[in-house]
Amino acid sequence: MKIALAQINPTVGDLNGNRELIVRFTRRARNEGAELVIFPEMCVTGYPPLDLLDNPVFITRTEAAIQDIATQVPVDIGVLIGAPLKNPQKTGKKLVNTALLLENGSVHSKVVKRLLPTYNVFDEYRHFEPASNQQIIAFRGLRLGVHICEDMWNIADYANYDLYDSDPLADLHDQGIDMFVNLSASPFSMGIHEIRNGLLQNIAEKFGTPFILVNQVGANTELVFDGESRVHDATGALVCRLPAFEESMAIWDSSESYSALPEPTAAENRLANIHQALVLGVRDYFDKTGAFSKILVGLSGGIDSAVTCAIAVDAVGADRVTGVTLPSVYSSAGSVDDSLALAKNLKIDCDSISIRPAVDAFSQMLKPSFQSTTSGTPEENIQARTRGVVLMALSNKFDYLLLTTGNKSELSMGYATLYGDMSGGLAVLADVFKTIVYELAEYINKKAGFDRIPRNTITKPPSAELAPDQKDEDSLPPYPILDEILRRYIEERQDLDVIQQTTGFDRGLIRSILTTVDRNEYKRVQAPPGIRVTAKAFGMGRRLPVVQRFER
Amino acid sequence: MKIALAQINPTVGDLNGNRELIVRFTRRARNEGAELVIFPEMCVTGYPPLDLLDNPVFITRTEAAIQDIATQVPVDIGVLIGAPLKNPQKTGKKLVNTALLLENGSVHSKVVKRLLPTYNVFDEYRHFEPASNQQIIAFRGLRLGVHICEDMWNIADYANYDLYDSDPLADLHDQGIDMFVNLSASPFSMGIHEIRNGLLQNIAEKFGTPFILVNQVGANTELVFDGESRVHDATGALVCRLPAFEESMAIWDSSESYSALPEPTAAENRLANIHQALVLGVRDYFDKTGAFSKILVGLSGGIDSAVTCAIAVDAVGADRVTGVTLPSVYSSAGSVDDSLALAKNLKIDCDSISIRPAVDAFSQMLKPSFQSTTSGTPEENIQARTRGVVLMALSNKFDYLLLTTGNKSELSMGYATLYGDMSGGLAVLADVFKTIVYELAEYINKKAGFDRIPRNTITKPPSAELAPDQKDEDSLPPYPILDEILRRYIEERQDLDVIQQTTGFDRGLIRSILTTVDRNEYKRVQAPPGIRVTAKAFGMGRRLPVVQRFER
């Protein structure tokens, strides 16, 4: 049977838009001869709809959208979609997360998700009641092992313990199936491709059964879904693969045999994936909100704003990106020059507005209050906040989406000014450590074939330029050491002892970094959403108390 | 048996501080003749510890704290405490939420929580595996039906459906118990007292069994726990009651009979509870962070900043609160006068800093960019953000905790400037609709016996004073109508049709309000934490996508 994998990019809550997308891809699949088309998890609502699910009208409308899809698609094709539905049981959560097979204008079969991820960025048990068993969908002579996303993830080889005590895949296999079919909304993070692909290969091989994965693509606020939908045959070999980070469709014929496709290596993928994830994150935020005329980036001459700006151009095109430099008395001449060189390379407009008049005005206004105090961080913050006011004024006046440029190292340490450089709608590098920002810059330049990001921006020592001759390393440990400690603490969940034993770094240094990270939660709760590219990003997936006193 | 109810105020993560608190209250209980002392849910860690629970070291330290408590308390008293522990099972979540009976220097018995709230502000299934059954704790001849918080909440009379298909209370009762003992961390919201107290009365009466509730008191970031621990006897009568919003202890003797105590009525409680919750929310944020010298409030002459400032004074005392007025060319003379009158009434210092120099500087700096545009919201935002810069400069320089003053009506509608009046560490009125802010002002004045909040502040029409003769009602519907619609949408989860049918308000108006609320999620995700006083506050309990396109 010809089966289409429809890797679509739905928008959360856009029931009409998503319906049209599903109908359009179904028609295309039918035109290409498919008898069955498979869409991602919760494609009717987009994933994750979060507490939109708490609104009963949202669920009623979702049900109506499903009926509309059933009647608007061609009658001679099976359409497997994902959607939340009311829980028919008298007890439990009010909803279930389902896969629905539509055929001949109505719902032919239904499968309910059994394993509900409720950790990190996932909150599914907040809304959904899990299924207690697993049922096969029979369709035109095929026995389909349909299941949803997490249902495939309880494989002992791929976790150091079993999160769930049930195994949906084994239960499906025991009932006799021709293939596994997984509808997913599995977000990107660094390394996830290799883990997910290895898992699929392992499952197909272990059960001697072909495996079809259809994964959502596109960004919805913090989360970027990478797609990379695929089929592994009964030997585990990859025989069909859709591109990552793009809306796409492919047809796999279950009666044909295919030769194995090559899988890109982790090393090849790493920076390209991060770059594509960030580009898609910016593009979809811009397109799906539909609220902005252009993107605005404040250019400091430093590497963070340069990389952010290049990503913005890659996301929406140079004609929809504008830069502005905001020099102060502490800005080096090189800073403005580097920004102008970047703007030229990126082919974007770049304005320049000196912040000096407002900084002087604040200085005068605060003189009576600040008399007999010494100048320090508060004065530096005034500069950063003056820049924030100017950037937001431009954003408000011209409907620009202001991007923040701070990286994960800075955000970890609170080395950023709340309402200053933290002002903006989307934090592009919030989940990218400074050392990786450098790698990204080199990747971008290599891809362009020239120093699109000026060499001087990459080579000069990083500085906030808020005080004379200031350098980041006056306040922070060298980034390679800092990032190593931060990565272990935040992403690997290691604490003081383990980090010290593994790295041999100074215990006092490690403790002070961990404490600084914890204490700066108050800034991060007011940060704009960041694009998630690691397994543990700040934001919805890392919920720490602002007021707390855990001491090591 | 004499049983002590120890209603303590733990700080999240403060394992040493909480240990000392538990030991101190246990000694006091023993000195007063108690044989058993009962503490709230998770009192060792404070509630909610959120993702501190993901740190294995935090759990190891919690276990060590439990051992320390066991050895430091007097040997001849049973101590019932709550704490997270490692899940001993091979599968499932890594932790369990437990009640532990300590006696003679070690853990005598353990009970695991069975119903794990995972909705609204609660995320317990994120971390904990539920118990599958219920066990009695036998202690010195008494059979105690110990259970934890949510375990008592699955009573059909108190919900319109059963969230869980098990009933811990019935299971305990079936095993034969002398009393129910509930360890809670049940946060305050308007009306919760009446619901919770009614539930307890109902349970005690239904099972003919006394019921002891010990509830956490104190605020931890957004959540305020009200305590109001109590005992209902086997007839359902209230026979022991601890005060709400205060750390406290009482002893109840299970062998004595008591006459029923009066329960404050909902009407008596309403404004007093909101006021006390806000005061405790501010005080605990200030005390538990320990990072601030004073509280700073920007005074506009309006009712929101006046009520916020009065609450701050009630929380930490007049000598630790300072006000500042930040007049612009659009500020009425009355605004500054009203602020000075308020400061005099509250006995706080009040400085005045004109924002004009910086506003003029921004105007000059932006002139080339803004030429041939008409003045509007962007220019208004510049004023609000200039105030934000000055307030944050004072906060940074003098370690002041800056409070934001916006109310729930404004926050709902985005009628606030991001990085302007939304700047600050804690949003005191973020969960209080404007109409209730007025009621609070009258309550505060009545309690004081004079117009502590100046009469003129209450009677003048609300205005942001960012443009000539501006009034809130130029941009917003009248507050009584707006708040009615907002309350139904946000707190009652009603949507367009139901609100229209129930209120008869204009359909277009309702739709536009609902859409405005949705669209302004981007501002609220960057708002400081607010003190929760309703069943549905913005913040951790209401998680809406920033990028979404649900249309009615």
pLDDT digits (tens, 9 = 90+) for B333-362: 888 999 999 999 999 999 999 999 999 999
The number of helices, as runs of H, and strands, as runs of E, in chain B is 17, 19
Residue B67 corresponds to which tokens in the numbers above?
């051992």
d(CA B423, CA B326): 14
Is B367 near chain A, with CB under 8 Å? no
Give the model's pLDDT for residue B360.
98
Q: Which residues of B touch A94 (CB under 8 A)?
A: 161
Give the model's pLDDT for residue A314.
98
Residues 423-442 of A with CB under 8 A from B: 423, 425
> Considering only CA atoms, which of B513, B549, B177 is closest in space to residue A221?
B549
Give the model's pLDDT for residue A331.
87
Torsions phi, psi of B449, nearest 5? 80, 5
d(CA B460, CA B438): 12
Dihedral sign from CA coordinates of A11, A12, A16, A18: positive
* Contact criterion met (CB < 8 Å) for B418 and A392: yes
Residue B236 corresponds to which tokens in the numbers above?
């359902």
Choice among B35, B124, B129, B149 that is catalytic: B149
User: Are B363 and A389 contacting, i.e. CB atoms less than 8 angstroms apart?
Assistant: no
User: Which own/partner contact pairs does B376-380 have at CB distance under 8 Å and 24+ positions apart?
Assistant: B377/A396, B378/A393, B378/A396, B378/A397, B380/B417, B380/B464, B380/B466, B380/B467
Could you confirm whether A86 is annotated as catalytic?
no
B373 pLDDT band, cuts 50/70/90, is: very high
Residue of B nearest to A11 (CA): B548
d(CA B41, CA A166): 30
Tokens 């999240």, located at residue: B12
User: Are A484 and A502 contacting, i.e. CB atoms less than 8 angstroms apart?
Assistant: no
Is B353 near chain A, with CB under 8 Å? yes
Interface mutation vs chain A, best among B356, B550, B551, most A CBs within 10 Å: B550
Angle between helix B266-289 and helix B303-316 axes, rounded to 10 deg = 70
Residue of B nearest to A522 (CA): B425
d(CA A103, CA A77): 6
* Contact criterion met (CB < 8 Å) for A369 and B353: yes
Residues 9-48 of B with CB under 8 A from A: 11-17, 46, 48
Give the model's pLDDT for residue A269.
86
Average pLDDT, chain B: 96
d(CA B544, CA B548): 9
User: Are B548 and A12 contacting, i.e. CB atoms less than 8 angstroms apart?
Assistant: yes
* Contact criterion met (CB < 8 Å) for B548 and A360: no
- Residue B513, judged by CB atoms within 10 A of its CB (0-12, 13-18, 19+), counts as buried
> Considering only CA atoms, which of B62, B57, B72, B74 is closest in space to residue B98?
B62
Per-residue pLDDT of B26-59, as tens digits, reads: 999 999 999 999 999 999 999 999 999 999 999 9
Paired with A145 in beta bridges are A180
Could you confirm whether B492 is annotated as catalytic?
no
User: Are B491 and B536 contacting, i.e. CB atoms less than 8 angstroms apart?
Assistant: yes
> Considering only CA atoms, which of A298, A400, A397, A363 is closest in space to residue B389?
A363
Could you confirm whether A294 is annotated as catalytic?
no
Give the model's pLDDT for residue A279.
98
Give the model's pLDDT for residue A333.
80
User: Are B45 and B83 contacting, i.e. CB atoms less than 8 angstroms apart?
Assistant: yes
Paired with B400 in beta bridges are B294
d(CA B93, CA B397): 45
ipTM of this predicted structure: 0.96
User: Are B7 and B21 contacting, i.e. CB atoms less than 8 angstroms apart?
Assistant: no
Measured between alpha carbons, how far is residue A273 from residues A190, A236, A248, A280 in Å?
8, 24, 17, 10
Is B540 near chain A, with CB under 8 Å? yes
Choice among A113, A294, A434, A523 that is catalytic: A113
Residue B158 pLDDT > 70:
no
Per-residue pLDDT of B375-409, as tens digits, reads: 999 999 999 999 999 999 999 999 999 999 999 99
Give the model's pLDDT for residue A179.
98
Residue B201 pLDDT > 90:
yes
Choice among A41, A103, A150, A228 that is catalytic: A41
Across the range B480-497, mean pLDDT stands at 97
Choice among B2, B113, B288, B523 that is catalytic: B113
Choice among B35, B41, B124, B484 that is catalytic: B41
Per-residue pLDDT of B227-264, as tens digits, reads: 999 999 999 999 999 999 999 999 999 999 999 999 88
Q: Which residues of A touch B50 (CB under 8 A)?
A: 543-545
d(CA A155, nearest CA chain B) in Å: 12
Measured between alpha carbons, how far is residue B462 from residues B427, B458, B475 in Å?
19, 9, 11
Residue B155 pLDDT > 80:
no
Mean pLDDT, 10 residues at a time, chain A of 552 residues: 98 98 98 98 98 97 98 96 95 96 96 97 98 95 97 76 88 97 97 92 96 98 97 97 97 96 84 97 98 98 98 98 95 90 98 97 97 95 98 98 98 98 98 98 98 97 89 91 98 96 97 97 98 98 97 90
Question: Cβ atoms within 10 A of the Cβ of B133, count?
Answer: 9
* Contact criterion met (CB < 8 Å) for B545 and A118: no
The alpha helices in B88-144, defined as continuous H runs, are none
